[in-house]
Amino acid sequence: MSRWIQPGDNEDITNERKKATFDTERMSAWIHGGPEVLKRRREILNFVKSVDDFKDPVPTEFMSREERILNNSRKVVAMTDNTDQIDGSDFFGEGMYYQALTMGRDLHAMSLHYVMFIPTLQGQTDDEQLDEWLTKAISRAVVGTYAQTELGHGTNLSKLETTATYDPATEEFVLNSPTITAAKWWPGGLGKSSNYAVVVAQLYTKGECKGPHPFIVQLRHDDTHLPLRGIRLGDIGPKLGINGNDNGFLLFDKVRVPRKALLMRYAKVKPDGTYVAPAHSKLGYGTMVFVRSIMIKDQSTQLGAAATIATRYASVRRQGEISPGKGEVQILDYQTQQFRVLPQLARAFAFMAAATEIRDLYLTVTEQLTHGNTELLAELHVLSSGLKSVVSWDTAQGIEQCRLACGGHGYSQASGFPEIYGYAVGGCTYEGENIVMLLQVARFLMKAAEGVRKGTANLADIGAYIGKTGSRTSRLTTHHHYTDSEIVEDLEHVARKQVFRAYDRLKSAQDHLRPEDAWNSVSVELAKASRWHVRLYLVKNFLNKVSLAPQDLKFVLTDVARLYAYDIITSSIGAFLEDGYMRSDQMNEVKEGIYECLAKIRPNAVSLVDSWDYDDKELKSVLGRRDGNVYPALLEWAQNSQLNKTEVLPSFEKYLGPMMKDARSKL
């Protein structure tokens, strides 16, 4: 019997679990990387549940912002007091899971300390700086953040306005914010929590600007925590989500720091002001690539959670009759509900598969960089940029679809959707605005296209399709015989066609425009090319991963993978029908394939979401709770409202009561 079935559960959700045609536990192990990883997840979960300091006094939805920040700070200290419970080197796996269980869908005073500050120290300090700072950071003797984004500039790093001017007379850099728009803006924990930061500033030496460089800077006094002289900083106010974190602003007024404040693994400034450039111009991108890499897994986890909530709720919510007189049906029985929710689940599976691959590639590149090998760095940057953009956008849209699929209750914070959306949608902007990321990918694609046209292309596997000739028409006969290779060929055709459409338009525009104006004039087509490049990768990678799955899981995973691919194809019908590559009857076959996948996934839907192994503590949703007992739980949750602490509110005594009394006196 499924471990997800327990006495007292809602009867409908229990019956759904009994329908499963696969072993849920084996699917969980496949998703998360094996039985041992799954075992460790359960051990970490049991530990977190056993520690009182990790528990919230009331649901966080009912806390004020000040209460949330205080509560999160309490929990993060407890969490980092107990890091011996996890493998600290496995941030992708145990670290992210431990934090998700402890902090929920919120950040905390030390989020950037661990995700940006420490990795930057590890990646960009020289040996002497590493000895000085890393132990302090890991031991929590200091709390750091990463201050790059400014009020006036985010993605365009070359135009950051904060300056660091070297003074050889004192061997110091002078940090300054010359304008309001030079204010650092958005860094997590900067407002009130961090006392140190890696600050990215334009380096000036010997009268020349050498571009943005990272500096480690003390912001607040070690004991009093007051801002140091010349430093102005604070909280930027409430946001759409993640309000348990004090995102901050920072301005410098001619603040002096020692020469060794410049992180010098790659670029250096000698005592006399001589600048030594890094051997490779892209080496400093490592930290940002790392963050984008883990973002992909985080986004897939959030979309998986949304799909879990919507699927479980749809299995216990009964509404309307399909056959008159037969009683109300589970809303999951409606094909329209399946069409809304199940493609989001398929996306989550595809994104998790990509997250695993990007993690492995990141670790490979990190190892190569230690030996001075930068061969894969550009490819990783392109892949992580494109995946970050497409995955975060599709995740945000998917979460909203899942919310809408839950009707009125999906609008309540009890559902978990507002928090999931507020947390995940930020990923469309932070660590690189999505459209800008797509245009970075496009530069790689245009270079590849030019190489193909000139016969000089040397393309890795991910871009090899650009150099293929390909068939003039789709080989699809029926959806029952639509092979993985044929699906990939059809996607390659559309991706390749869009790449060369953008390339040809760019070359034409360059005949009469300056290069930068030509690029801007075709930027919509360039972004489209990048999206197809990434979606092709996602489908190809997912199909490949499923082909290697155990036989007893492969049959249901094939339905999920096909649904993902078919959904992409039918969402862009015109691209496939263009120039007669596909016929309308072939496209109808793909549509029929979608409906068949929905029908085949339907009896396995609840067990598929169970396989993601979300405990109620991680899911944080009344609608998506494991036992399916949604309605009594909603009523219980509502009792936490501050408005229910008294029967009569001051608003009645002061305004509504007098209004009604006055009106009655005049009747």
Find the DSSP H helices in 231-334. 286-316
Query: Which residues are bridge partners to 214 per DSSP?
Result: 200
CB–CB of 508/525 below 8 Å? Answer: no
| Residue 117 CA: distances (Å) to CA of 1, 198, 200, 283, 664 | 46, 7, 12, 17, 64
Q: What's the CA gap between 281 and 605, in Å, rounded?
A: 48
Interacting residues of 140 by C-beta distance below 8 A, sequence separation 6+: 80, 110
431 is catalytic: yes
Q: What's the CA gap between 109 and 619, in Å, rounded?
A: 22
Q: What's the CA gap between 72 and 78, in Å, rounded?
A: 10
Residue 372 marked in a binding site: no
Joined together, the tokens standing for residue 134 give 């890393």
Joined together, the tokens standing for residue 636 give 């219980």
How many CB atoms neighbour CB 517 within 10 A?
11
Q: What's the CA gap between 567 and 398, in Å, rounded?
A: 13
Q: What is the DSSP letter of 150?
A: B
Q: What's the CA gap between 585 and 42, in Å, rounded?
A: 49
Catalytic residue among 94, 161, 419, 431: 431
Residue 416's φ and ψ, nearest 5 degrees, are 90, -15
Q: Is 609 helix (H, G, I), strand (E, B) or coil?
A: helix
- Biggest distance spanned by C-alpha atoms of the chain: 91
Residue 188 marked in a binding site: yes
Residue 614's φ and ψ, nearest 5 degrees, are -80, 120
- Going 23 to 420 to 183 to 253, the CA torsion angle's sign is negative
Q: What's the CA gap between 367 and 427, in Å, rounded?
A: 27
Q: Which of 162, 180, 185 is nearest to 246 (CA)?
A: 185
Q: Binding site membership for FAD: which residues? A: 149, 188
Active site residues: 431
Q: Binding site membership: which residues? A: 149, 188
